A and B are shown apart, each in its own frame.
Chain A
Amino acid sequence: MGAFDTLRIAGSSLGVHQTWLDTLAHNIANVNTARSTDQDAFQAQMLITSSRAGGGVEVSGLAKSDPEGRMVHNPSHPLADENGYVRMPEIDMSSQMSQLIMAQRGYQASVQTTKNAQENYASALQIGRA
């Protein structure tokens, strides 16, 4: 345990939430990405995290959503098959937006933790000061 563990732990949390925000941005960006029916649909990424032994959190993996997607009838699409279907990704937009808020709040909470840590260090430096 070092002197700056609070900062290190909060930093790991900031990193994980940053990655979470990245995956959500990627999913939302590709919500309208169509594929032809003989291909897999775009797979939404889901972050898997685990706690670190010495304190903190880390990304332990990325899960991907169903490659089946959903078939949408859109004959005017250039990728449409002979029946007029394209494969759209299975992404729940409301879930993605809720997760976006959760990731943002988690990031903000970790920033607050680092602020508190800095204030604590500043207080500790006041000890013995005339």
Chain B
Amino acid sequence: MSVSGIEALGFTPYVPPVATADPGASVNGTSGFADLVLDGLDRLEAVQNRADSLAVQAATGDLENIHDYTIAASEAAVTTQLTVALRNKAVEAFTEIMRMPL
């Protein structure tokens, strides 16, 4: 969707990603969802490490700007919540399949 009013300001308007089915994924053994979760965990670790190092700087008095830490901390909190939500969905799907009568 093009929003000419804000494009003039140098912003690229948000374009939602379109999910496309990849028929070869399950055959090749590469699971898209598992990769997504693992990638998310890696990124979560990086974000949390950043927040942790800033927390250490705050404790030792080396922190230049307070908002650097608070923003990193809230970023880490939201990323953690998103990862947990994804994990819950995965577990939910797994138990749903396990409940299937054979």
Contacts and interface: CB of A to CB of B under 8 A. Distances in A.
Interface of A: 1, 4, 7-8, 10-11, 14-15, 18, 51, 53-55, 111, 114, 118, 121-122, 125, 128-129
Contacts of B71: 7-8, 10-11, 14, 114
B81 A15 contact: no
A53 B10 contact: yes
A121 B78 contact: yes
Nearest to A127: B85
A129 B85 contact: yes
A114 B65 contact: no
Nearest to B12: A1
Contacts of B81: 121-122, 125
Nearest to B13: A1
Contacts of A111: 67
A1 B65 CA distance: 24
B11 A11 contact: no
A43 B74 CA distance: 39
Contacts of A15: 65, 67-68
B87 interface: no
Given A1-B12, A15-B65, A128-B89, 16 more contacts: A1-B14, A7-B74, A10-B71, A11-B67, A11-B71, A14-B71, A15-B67, A15-B68, A54-B10, A111-B67, A114-B71, A121-B78, A122-B78, A125-B81, A125-B85, A129-B85
Interface in B64-87: 65, 67-68, 70-71, 74-75, 78, 81-82, 85
B46 to A, nearest CB: 13
Contact of B67 (A18, A51, A128): A18
A18 B65 contact: yes
A14 B65 contact: yes
Interface string B1-41: 00000000011101000000000000000000000000000
A11 B74 contact: no
Contacts of A114: 67, 70-71, 74
